Chains A and B, each alone.
Chain A
Amino acid sequence: MTAAGVQSSPSGAVPAPAAAWPAVAWLRLARLYAVSRRVPAALGLLAALGCLLWAALYWRWNIAGGPAAQQFFSLAIETGAAAVIAVTTYGPFGEPERATGRWLPWLRLAAALALTAAAFGALAAGATGGTLPGGTLALLRDLAGLTGTGLLAAAVLGGAFGWAGPMAYLLITETALSGAPATPWVWPARPPHDLGAALCASAVFAAGIVAVTVLGARDPGRR
């Protein structure tokens, strides 16, 4: 038995769909990537956090105390959203995926940006339940910065532990807020139009995006 005669397709064979429709192939790749990162579940959780923010503002859940207490619920919910985004960077395939997926960095970038945008949309919708401290601008700044801490933590600790970054930042912020910090690195404590705070939050977000895009989350294969 030889392979002679199989170099060409038999008559009547249909070409592969992916080859015929690159856009479909792209969509399929994106869908598979999203499923592997549990993006649909993340979108559901982000929507749930948006509802939680709406409920917190509508029923005016508040805790006693100063600025830290007044911002607590909104900031905690933004932190939860950032933690969810960070955890989606966890990939179960490890080395094989990195070795074969040349589009992987773009998929990581797209997923992180899309989820951040979705989180902002969900939380902005939730903010219609009442008066959000700092308004939508502060929400965007704080969410971006917190997401940056999560993505950085994912790059350093691993995607599964990316949530630790926003949680740690929230704890630091809650402590720092009680002392009226002047540093822009505690951006939730600054006014919404504070340029330094916006730059710091943007820088952290950019660093997180770059780290996750280029490096990806730390290899989880050993865990």
Chain B
Amino acid sequence: MTATTDAPVRPRPSSAARAVPLTAARLLRIELRHSPMPWILPLIAALFWFDSYRPSISQPPIWVLRTFWNMGQGHTIVDFGPFVAGMAAWIGSRDGRRGTSDLVTATARPRWLAQLVTWAAAAIWAVGGYLVFVGVMFGVYAHQGLGGAPPWWWVPVGTAAVAAFSAAGFAAGVFFPSRFAAPLAAFGAFVVMMLSSQTGFTATSGWALILPTNSNGNYEAVSGVFYRYLPDLPIARVMFLAGIAVAVLGLLGLPSGAGGPGLRRAAAVVTLAGVAAAGTAIGLAGTAWRGPYGIVIPALHDAANDQPVRYTPVCGHAAGTPVCMNPAYRRYLPDVTAALRPLLAEMAGLPGAPARATQVPGTYTSSEGEANPVVTISGRPPVLRVPLDALATLPGYTGFTGAPETEALFADQLRALSVHAFVGAGNGTGAPAQQAVQAALLLRVGVPFAVQANVMDAGNGPGPPPPPTTGPVYAAARRLAALPPAARHAWLAAHLGALRSGHLTLAQLP
């Protein structure tokens, strides 16, 4: 018997190479069929409706406002995360609970790869469910004719979060194979999400921006309406969440029974890559700064996203003055024109009276969705610039108010803010003479003194409310309002310049 050293090496059958992915595909198909993850999806669907969709319908019909709660603040992730983590933990603990770990470790397929296939099946169900539920919700929103653009970038963030929760839960089940792995994974995921929400409410900068429940500075009412949603932070969040998922899945390949030395080295590399991705994402979030219309991460920022969205305004007329708005706010045009009509009629012919009214984007602070609703009059000819998105009194349900806002309150606030700008009172309450003229003009357009104090402060109005409706200011206002229209108009025409410059005193009012 001789050694056949001269014999040609038999090439590996080409079918063998093809068999590996085919076997993996078959394994995946089997796991997809046997995964219990779909059983939890009906429960998640009910919770998704209750917690994500139902509260959103009380928001104004603008994409960014309607999805603020469920996408911006990550409630779709809160609805999925704990349950997906719990089910994944149950799936991951399967071999350990059944005492078959040694049996499956001895099979031809490396343990780690088999675990990855099992996790993949669970993740496919979970992520698929997330995409279907979000897709249905977006479809309903689209059917309702929301204004603006959908927040597409937040969908991959949610997808990555669901995948990360499934990976973390699965790993918990593998490493702690017990019937209690599932409830503890779900409990842990819920606590993590709530802590993330807490941090998201308060942290306006730094690493905490990476949390998918943090909407500070990056989900404002102008997004998708006047400006694009900036994708910088969503990209970093996807990196962070995907990094967590990859790192956790890599950990599964580190134990001695997971596979051969080569495979375990590969698992170590995968783990490090995941940690690096998550760490890099946190570092990128730390470099973020608040741009005019969202969070900017310099390393990820594309200047093209800073360009305003082009649109053809929708216009109406109020007392002969054009009133133009962003088409996303089309349904509020009748309310705005109705509110401005008596005011613009009262101002007509006076120096600095608006020749046009237009909607402008609000200017937002670094906190969560808050803007100062400052109405201005500027330009030649003068233009009344109304940041409608910054007003918290849009007719109908806004936010989580118990009752809908009325058209009357909206009209009163819009008139008050406009008159405030007209008399040149600036960001404060204004000089006493300005307060008096403002009160008189508002009284003339149907806003009683008693209401004025409230509407000026409604929805974070500019500065503190005016003083009570007594005293010299209101006495002067009553006198001015009592004048015949022609006389009042003539007095205003003669004194508006001095009034706006702050040189007029109460004693100089008629």
Seen from chain A, the residues whose Cβ lies within 8 Å of a Cβ on chain B are 38, 41-42, 45, 63-65, 69, 72, 76, 79-80, 83-84, 86-88, 90, 157, 160-161, 163-164, 167-168, 170-172, 174-175, 178-180, 223
If the complex has contacts A72-B194, A171-B78, are A64 and B182 also in contact, measured as CB distance less than 8 A?
no
Near A by CB (< 8 A), chain B positions 30-57 give: 36, 39-40, 43, 46-47, 50-51, 55
Total CB contacts across the A-B interface at under 8 A: 91
If the complex has contacts A41-B178, A163-B86, A171-B51, are A83 and B194 also in contact, measured as CB distance less than 8 A?
no
Chain B binding surface, main DSSP class: helix
| Residue contact A83 to B43, C-beta cutoff 8 Å | no
| Residue contact A65 to B47, C-beta cutoff 8 Å | no
| Residue contact A86 to B47, C-beta cutoff 8 Å | no
Interface string of B153-190 (1 = CB under 8 A from A): 00000000000000000000000001110111011001
Give A133 to B257 CA distance when docked, in angstroms.
Answer: 48
| Residue contact A164 to B194, C-beta cutoff 8 Å | no
| Residue contact A64 to B190, C-beta cutoff 8 Å | no
Chain A residue nearest to B78 in the complex (CB): A171
Query: Using Cβ atoms and an 8 Å threshold, which residues of chain A touch B187?
Result: 76, 79-80, 83, 163, 167
| Residue contact A167 to B400, C-beta cutoff 8 Å | no
Chain A residue nearest to B52 in the complex (CB): A175
Seen from chain B, the residues whose Cβ lies within 8 Å of a Cβ on chain A are 36, 39-40, 43, 46-47, 50-51, 55, 78-79, 82-83, 86-87, 90, 178-180, 182-184, 186-187, 190-191, 194-195, 197-198, 201-202, 400, 402
Closest 5 CB pairs of A and B: A163-B183, A63-B198, A83-B183, A80-B187, A175-B51
Can you identify 26 A-B contacts, CB atoms within 8 angstroms?
A41-B178, A45-B184, A63-B197, A63-B198, A65-B198, A65-B201, A76-B191, A79-B187, A79-B190, A84-B180, A87-B180, A87-B182, A88-B179, A157-B39, A161-B39, A161-B40, A163-B187, A164-B186, A167-B86, A167-B190, A168-B43, A170-B190, A171-B190, A172-B47, A179-B402, A223-B36
Give A178 to B197 CA distance when docked, in angstroms.
Answer: 14
Query: Using Cβ atoms and an 8 Å threshold, which residues of chain B touch A164?
Result: 40, 43, 83, 86, 186
If the complex has contacts A167-B82, A168-B47, A172-B51, are A90 and B183 also in contact, measured as CB distance less than 8 A?
no
Query: Using Cβ atoms and an 8 Å threshold, which residues of chain B touch A179?
Result: 400, 402
| Residue contact B198 to A160, C-beta cutoff 8 Å | no
| A41 contact from B180, B190, B400, B402, Cβ within 8 A | B180
| Residue contact B51 to A64, C-beta cutoff 8 Å | no
Chain A residue nearest to B187 in the complex (CB): A80
Query: Using Cβ atoms and an 8 Å threshold, which residues of chain A touch B195?
Result: 63
Query: Using Cβ atoms and an 8 Å threshold, which residues of chain A touch B47?
Result: 168, 171-172
A58 CB to nearest chain B CB (Å)? 17
If the complex has contacts A168-B43, A178-B400, are A80 and B179 also in contact, measured as CB distance less than 8 A?
no
Query: Using Cβ atoms and an 8 Å threshold, which residues of chain B touch A90?
Result: 179
Give A41 to B181 CA distance when docked, in angstroms.
Answer: 12
| Residue contact A76 to B194, C-beta cutoff 8 Å | yes
Query: Using Cβ atoms and an 8 Å threshold, which residues of chain A touch B86?
Result: 163-164, 167
If the complex has contacts A76-B190, A179-B400, are A42 and B180 also in contact, measured as CB distance less than 8 A?
yes
| Residue contact B183 to A84, C-beta cutoff 8 Å | yes
Give A125 to B361 CA distance when docked, in angstroms.
Answer: 54
